[in-house]
């Protein structure tokens, strides 16, 4: 692969400086309001997530705990949000927009749309399309390596007892090293394989383990997504996307109506993938498990079945 020359590097840095300045100008005009941009982003998340909590906001938006607490208190004082105590854990409060808060949010949405149209009204339709095409081109080029990498990934749905041991060890290692789970997690992990396994898919690159995902049958209409993990050597390369898409395709063809899963809030990358595929957070409870306090989350995806399978 050829290294970028100095002219290319200089051009990219010049455009980056221009874009950062323009983005600042853009945000001032689009979100010129009594609320700051981080506050607006918090409102957006509260409106979008069914079981939003302060911790979810901290992790999703990468905001300081103290800052989030102060903003939420301000929102309460302004009657923008209200808190609902979790029935299963009195320490956890779900955040919701009040009627007034929904009006504030909708007003911001309408204003943002209007201001974007206004900012570009003096640009010809031809140049607007050129601008949009350029944005798409930039996005495609910068993600091209991910798409190319996906082509070398193979996925098989036949598995052995040895494969299950590899899956268990990969998960134990990841959650111990990255999340600090204690030794009780291994026992829990082994117990999950005692369920009625519908399917297991294993991703491989050059014959080596790249990731896995599984499906457990809950009932005739609902399947549980389990054991989703991507090997560290291939993370960010599209393997996870391919595995989840394979699972969803199978569920649609076999007429499952819903896929559910459980995860913890600190797994930010996985949560973004679930959201990308249309999963919705339906419940979140903070509880002590595997040696620490974690926010246990329940996500669901309602499926549109593949009619061709009938």
Residues 235-241 have a mean pLDDT of 79
Segments of the chain assigned E as strands: 81-85, 93-97, 153-156, 197-205, 208-217, 222-230, 258-264, 280-289, 292-302
Residues 152-175 have pLDDT tens digits of 778 898 888 888 999 999 999 888
Distance between CA atoms of residues 68 and 71, nearest Å: 5
What percentage of the chain exceeds 70 in pLDDT? 88
Token look-up 């911001």 returns: 108
What percentage of the chain exceeds 90 in pLDDT? 21
CATH number corresponding to 31-142: 1.10.10.10
Higher pLDDT residue, 169 or 92? 169
Architecture of domain 152-309: 3-Layer(aba) Sandwich (3.40)
Q: Please report the pLDDT score of residue 2 as a whole number.
A: 58
Q: Please report the pLDDT score of residue 308 as a whole number.
A: 41
Residues 265-295 have pLDDT tens digits of 878 778 888 888 888 888 888 889 888 888 8
Higher pLDDT residue, 143 or 214? 214
Task: Give yes or no for a contact between 210 and 231, defined as CB atoms under 8 angstroms apart.
Answer: yes
Residues 136-151 have a mean pLDDT of 65
Helix 37-48 and helix 99-119, axial crossing angle in degrees, nearest 10: 120
Which range of 2-11, 25-34, 145-154, 169-178 scores highest in mean pLDDT? It is 169-178
Task: Kindly tell me if the per-residue pLDDT of 310 is higher than 50.
Answer: no
Q: Please report the pLDDT score of residue 25 as a whole number.
A: 66
SS3 213: strand
Domain chopping of the chain, boundaries: 31-142, 152-309
Tell me the DSSP string of 115-171: HHHHHTTTS-HHHHHHHHHHHHHHHHHHTHHHHHHHTTEEEE----HHHHHHHHHHH
Task: Kindly tell me if the per-residue pLDDT of 27 is higher than 70.
Answer: no
Half-sphere exposure of 264 (CA within 13 A, CB side): 15
Task: Give yes or no for a contact between 228 and 270, defined as CB atoms under 8 angstroms apart.
Answer: yes
pTM: 0.52
Higher pLDDT residue, 58 or 224? 224
Token look-up 């495609």 returns: 140
Task: Kindly tell me if the per-residue pLDDT of 180 is higher than 90.
Answer: no
Q: Please report the pLDDT score of residue 305 as a whole number.
A: 57
Higher pLDDT residue, 88 or 17? 17
Residue 255: pLDDT band (50, 70, 90) is confident
Task: Kindly tell me if the per-residue pLDDT of 193 is higher than 70.
Answer: yes
Task: Give yes or no for a contact between 263 and 161, defined as CB atoms under 8 angstroms apart.
Answer: no
Q: How far is CA 263 from CA 164, 166, 296, 299, in A?
A: 20, 20, 6, 8
Do 31-142 and 152-309 agree at the fold level? Answer: no
Residues 29-47 have a mean pLDDT of 78
Task: Kindly tell me if the per-residue pLDDT of 307 is higher than 50.
Answer: no
Cross-strand pairs, 224: 216, 260
Buried b / exposed e over 112-141, threshold 16 CB at 10 Å, is eeebeeeeeeeeeeeeeeeeeeeeeeeeee
Residues 165-190 have a mean pLDDT of 88
Q: Please report the pLDDT score of residue 30 as a whole number.
A: 58
């Amino acid at each position: 692969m050829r290294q970028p020359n100095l002219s290319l590097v200089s051009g990219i840095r010049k455009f980056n400086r221009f874009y950062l300045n323009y983005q600042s100008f853009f945000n001032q005009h689009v979100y010129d309001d009594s609320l700051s941009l981080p506050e607006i982003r918090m409102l957006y998340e509260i409106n979008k997530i069914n079981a939003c909590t302060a911790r979810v906001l901290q992790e999703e938006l990468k905001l300081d705990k103290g800052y989030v607490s102060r903003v939420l208190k301000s929102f309460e004082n302004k009657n923008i949000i209200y808190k609902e105590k979790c029935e299963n854990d009195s320490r956890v409060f779900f955040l919701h927009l009040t009627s007034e808060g929904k009006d504030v949010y909708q007003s911001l949405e309408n204003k943002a749309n209007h201001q974007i149209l206004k900012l570009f009204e003096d640009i010809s339709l031809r140049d607007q399309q050129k601008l949009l095409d350029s944005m798409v081109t930039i996005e495609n080029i910068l993600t091209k390596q991910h798409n190319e990498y996906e082509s070398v990934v193979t996925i098989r749905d036949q598995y052995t007892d040895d494969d299950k041991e590899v899956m268990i060890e990969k998960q134990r290692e990841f959650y111990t090293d990255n999340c600090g789970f204690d030794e009780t997690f291994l026992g829990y992990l082994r117990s999950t394989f005692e369920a009625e396994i519908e399917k297991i898919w294993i991703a491989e690159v050059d014959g080596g383990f790249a990731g896995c995902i599984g499906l457990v049958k809950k009932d005739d209409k609902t399947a549980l997504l389990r054991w989703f993990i991507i090997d560290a050597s291939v993370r960010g390369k599209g393997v996870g996307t391919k595995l989840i898409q394979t699972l969803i395709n199978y569920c649609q063809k076999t007429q499952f109506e819903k896929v559910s899963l459980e995860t913890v809030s600190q797994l930010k990358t996985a949560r973004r993938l679930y959201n990308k595929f249309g999963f919705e957070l339906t419940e979140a409870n903070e509880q002590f498990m595997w040696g620490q306090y974690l926010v246990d989350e329940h996500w669901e995806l309602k499926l549109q079945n593949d009619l061709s399978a009938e």
